[in-house]
């Protein structure tokens, strides 16, 4: 058992600029996490082992980001009951719509909570993970409420010229 509560996994090093948005949110909110490159296609054994050990290691949420034929989140959801939050990474060829469709349309029984394409989706994955953990962590719930209130307060009421 580890005190790491969230696993941020991604199909490639090239996904990290997107997935670090999730890590940043978890840093801001004081949530412990680990980061790993786990590819459904290039390292299937690593994927299987990560999923097989996730519950025993104490992971409570897995954020999984991938692009293109983005099978990582769905395959991870098939291997563990730890909730999987999927992040479709934006691609050059199809702008991430390929990633989105690959992650979104799971068959009944193995859900993936699918976020928006790209950086906003990765940041929201961090917030989704924090919200899940906050259900049983009052201090985190307070930090998340403060984070949300600060974001809300930062939005101007009146638009200005550039």
Is 15 annotated to bind ligand?
yes
Cβ distance 130 to 140 under 8 Å?
A: yes
Query: Which run of H or E residues covers position 131?
Result: helix 119-134
Ranges within 42-101 binding ligand RP5 (CB under 6 A): 66-68, 89
Is 42 annotated to bind ligand?
yes
Nearer to ligand RP5, 44 or 111 (CB): 44
Cβ distance 157 to 57 under 8 Å?
A: no
- Three-state DSSP at 30 gives coil
Asked if residue 126 binds ligand RP5 (CB under 6 A), the reply is: no
Q: In angstroms, rounded to a whole number, what is the distance separating the alpha carbons of residues 70 and 41?
A: 9
Q: Which of residues 14, 95, 105, 146 is near ligand RP5 by CB under 6 A?
A: 14
Q: Which of residues 28, 35, 39, 101 is near ligand RP5 by CB under 6 A?
A: 39
Known binding-site positions for substrate: 12, 15, 42
């Amino acid at each position: 058992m580890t005190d790491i509560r969230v696993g941020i996994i991604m199909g490639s090093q090239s996904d990290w600029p997107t997935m670090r948005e999730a890590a940043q949110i978890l840093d801001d909110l004081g949530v412990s996490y680990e980061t790993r490159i786990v590819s459904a296609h290039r390292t299937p054994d690593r994927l299987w082992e990560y999923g097989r050990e996730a519950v025993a290691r104490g992971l409570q949420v897995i954020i999984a980001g991938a692009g293109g034929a983005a099978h990582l989140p769905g395959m991870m959801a098939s291997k563990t009951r730890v909730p999987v939050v999927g992040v479709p990474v934006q691609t050059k060829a199809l702008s991430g719509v390929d990633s989105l469709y690959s992650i979104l349309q799971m068959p009944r029984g193995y859900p993936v909570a699918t976020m928006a394409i790209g950086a906003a989706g990765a940041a929201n994955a961090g917030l989704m993970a924090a919200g899940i953990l906050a259900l049983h962590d009052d201090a985190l719930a307070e930090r998340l409420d403060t984070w949300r209130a600060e974001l809300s307060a930062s939005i101007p009421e009146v638009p200005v010229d550039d």
